[in-house]
Amino acid sequence: MNARVTPHPHTPIPSWFPRGAALLREPTLNKGTAFTDVERDALGLRGLLPPRISTQDSQVARVMENFHRLESPLAKYIMLESLHDRNEALFYRVLTQYPDEMTPIVYTPTVGLACQEFGHIFRRPRGMYVSLDDRGRVAQILRNWMHHEVAMIVVTDGERILGLGDLGASGMGIPIGKLALYSACAGIDPVKCLPVVLDVGTNNPKLLKDPLYLGVARPRATLAEYDELVDEFIEATQEVFPGVVVQFEDFANHNAFRLLAKWRDRICCFNDDIQGTAAVTAAGIFSALRVTGKPMRDQTILCLGAGEAATGISDLLVQAMVDDGLGEAEARRRCWLVDSKGLVVASRTDLASHKQPYAHDHAPVHDFPAAVNALKPTAIIGVAATPNTFTEEVVRAMAAFNERPIVFALSNPTSRSECTAQQAYGWSEGRALFASGSPFPSASVRGRHFVPRQGNNSYIFPGVGLGLIVSGATKATDAMFMAAARTLATTVSENDLAQGSLYPPLSAVRHVSALIAAAVADVAYASGLARKQRPADLVAYVEGHMYDPHYPEYA
């Protein structure tokens, strides 16, 4: 039985529909105290609920009252997870109505702490766990999932959770949080979303010693074991859920690039850390250039970091520069990376393959401040999860080179951020164009009030996923992520820019996601990659397919 299927109002309730206490225990159908008198009689609920009937609005008010009583972000996370376990529609109604308050709890930065404490706060299983012991029967295991119309899978192996490193099976909090945002921000029906952890062990000694750790307590798999499981899993997803979109999430560099390269032309898949981060960053750059008035082809970009995020960002910005008239080789020479050993340059012999396209001819430079002074970039982008590295020296140097320096401190959670909003604005005398990966409060400098906004992937991946689903795309291409970036940038108003905001308010994210989904679907249709027929009005079609977390009528 697909629990999302509900009887049409005022028609007989089918025999399979749960009744009584069983209905109250089914979160996809439960309305709690909002069941009407007619529903209570028809569904065997009389006496099982307090007699006063609530509206969903009053239930939301009760949730928010209790939410605001809690001081700890982790306590708020646990509260929301418990609500999700009881009443799915109410959970998503709260998320969609209060995105500014809820997104930092169900996703970054709080989800990082929730993953670190996952085995200690665990209450009820959500998602699927596929381990090395499951090789040879992965398809059989996926068929155990209670919903059969899965359209979106987010999968992690837990090796590089945010900036926190190897959290093994405790990384399940990331796919859960990510898919909650797919539903809240883009209206993908929750029953079509499946979070998965590939449990291949962990090299985190703290977890291996923790008696409450819920994963396989062994070192990480060998490469051969790992590839055998991943290959079987990917093939099983397409067998059990034909055409499902697979998002790779928080894989370490050595696996992220090769898995994306292996599967991107064979199934509809993407890596949000590479492609989603690139798109949201590019959108922020496009917004910033509306303020500076300088063209994309004249930018020099310096990334602190040389992994998935940095190379993904650089690849998309290179394409943006090419679109603006540069040759590809010249565009690449305008994008630079700094890793743990200094500036990535051609003379280095220790470079992984993903760094080599950005290894340019230059004398060795051994630290980030020196690289800033040597290259005089127009934009610095922090994605190395190394906190406090955008120092006063660095920001003041950027402000000396540029009238409006672009400073993106994108590492998360907050404890890993390269600098705060107040620091970026203060050290630049209010001239920085700032975005961050985690939320920061507004700042005041020299009588000006600034409202920084996150360069958060939640602006991008929900709409991209929805666009892939509604079009039935067979592949997720770089052109789709460029379309998403440009669409996001167009939603930033002049008033947003005037207050220092390079992204729209999160309160607008469902509308933004609909526009992005339509843009992604448009690319799918134009490229011959769509399996579904093109509707006359793409935006209206997309909006018509978005999940509404208000209660249906059962009787």
Catalytic residues: 107, 178
SS3 breakdown of the chain: % helix, strand, coil, rounded to 5? Answer: 50, 10, 40
Dihedral sign, Cα of residue 192, residue 247, residue 162, residue 461: negative
**Which string of DSSP letters, residue by residue, matches 296-320?**
GGG--EEEEB-SHHHHHHHHHHHHH
Amino acid of residue 247: Q
Terminal C-alpha separation, the chain: 19
The H or E element spanning position 147 is: none
Q: What are phi and psi of 340, to 5 degrees?
A: -65, -15
Question: Whose CA is closest to 243, among 462, 467, 469?
Answer: 469
- In 3D space, the residue among 412, 529, 435 whose CA is nearest the CA of residue 477 turns out to be 529
What CA–CA distance (Å, rounded) separates 22 from 30?
9
Residues 246, 153: contact at Cβ < 8 Å? yes
Q: Tell me the three-class secondary structure of 427-482, residue by residue.
A: HCCCCCEEEECCCCCCEEECCEEECCCECCHHHCHHHHHHHHHHHCECCCCHHHHH
Given a contact cutoff of 8 angstroms between Cβ atoms, the answer to whether 20 and 45 are in contact is yes
Q: What's the CA gap between 407 and 396, in Å, rounded?
A: 11
CA dihedral 4, 103, 129, 477 (to 10 degrees): 90
Q: Which residues contact 418 (CB under 8 A, 6 or more apart)?
A: 304, 382, 384, 386, 387, 388, 389, 390, 409, 410, 411
Place of tokens 């985190």: 204
CA-CA distance, 250 to 203, in Å (whole number)? 15
Give the neighbor-by-neighbor strand order of the sheet with 152-156: 128-131, 193-199, 152-156, 245-248, 269-271
CA 477 to CA 335: how far, in whole Å? 21
How many C-beta atoms lie closer than 10 Å to residue 55's C-beta? 11
